Amino acid sequence: MNTQLVETRPARQGDAAALADVHAAAWRGAYRGLLDGLDLERLVTNRTPRWWADALARGVRIDLIEVSGEVAGYATSGPCRMRGLPAAGEIYELYLHPHYQGLGFGRKLFEAARASLESRRLPGLAVRVLGDNTPACGFYRALGGRLTSRSWHTTGGRKLELLVYCWPAHPS
C-alpha cells in the first residue's frame, strides 16, 4: 500500500483512461479561445484511451503525477526534436487537470520528467509552448527556462507563435 499523498511515476496501461480524461480537461482549459473550437475538439477527441494505450505499448515515456491515488497530470518526453538547441532532451507535453493547477504539482511533474530525461542520458531540456498561452509561458519562466528561439505553426487558418524554452543539464 502506498501511503504517499502525491506520487510521480511512469504511466502504465491501466492509466490510459485517466490520461485521456486529464488530456481533454487540460487542453480545453488551456486552448479554448486560442485555437479554433473545431480544431481543438478534433485534437481532444483523437486522444482516446486506446490512443494512450497504444502510445504506452510503443514505449512512449509518460510520467504522471497522482494526488490521493487520482491521476492529476502527465508529461511526455524524449530526445529533443529541434536541431541546434543546447538540449538533448525535450518535454513534449506537460499538462495538469485544471483542478490541480496552481498548487505546485506542475513543478513536481516537471522535475520528474527532467530526471527521467537525465536517467536516459538526455541532459538539458527544451519545451515548446504556444506564445499566447500566458500561464504556461509564466510557468516555464518561473522554473528557470530561458527563451531560446521562436517558430510558427499554422492551424485552423491561424498562424500561431511557438516559444522554445531551454534549461541546461543539472550539474553532476
Break the chain into its structural domains and give their ranges: 6-167
Cα–Cα distances in angstroms (integers) from residue 137 to residues 26, 33, 67, 119, 142, in the given order: 15, 16, 24, 26, 9
Report residue 107 as a C-alpha cell.
513543478
- The top-level CATH class assigned to 6-167 is alpha beta
CB atoms inside a 10 Å sphere around CB 61: 17
DSSP code for 88: S
**pLDDT tens track, the chain, 172 positions:** 455 699 999 999 999 999 999 999 999 998 888 877 787 888 888 899 999 999 999 999 999 999 999 999 999 999 999 999 999 999 999 999 999 999 999 999 999 999 999 999 999 999 999 999 999 999 999 999 999 999 988 877 788 899 999 999 876 5
∠158-135-71 over CA atoms, to 5°? 105
Cα distance between residue 143 and residue 149, in whole Å:
17
Instruction: Enter the pTM of the model.
Output: 0.91
Q: Which residues are registered as beta bridge partners of 51?
A: none
Across the chain, where does the E strand assignment appear? 6-10, 61-67, 70-79, 89-96, 125-130, 146-155, 158-167
**Beta 158-167 vs 125-130: how paired, if at all?**
antiparallel
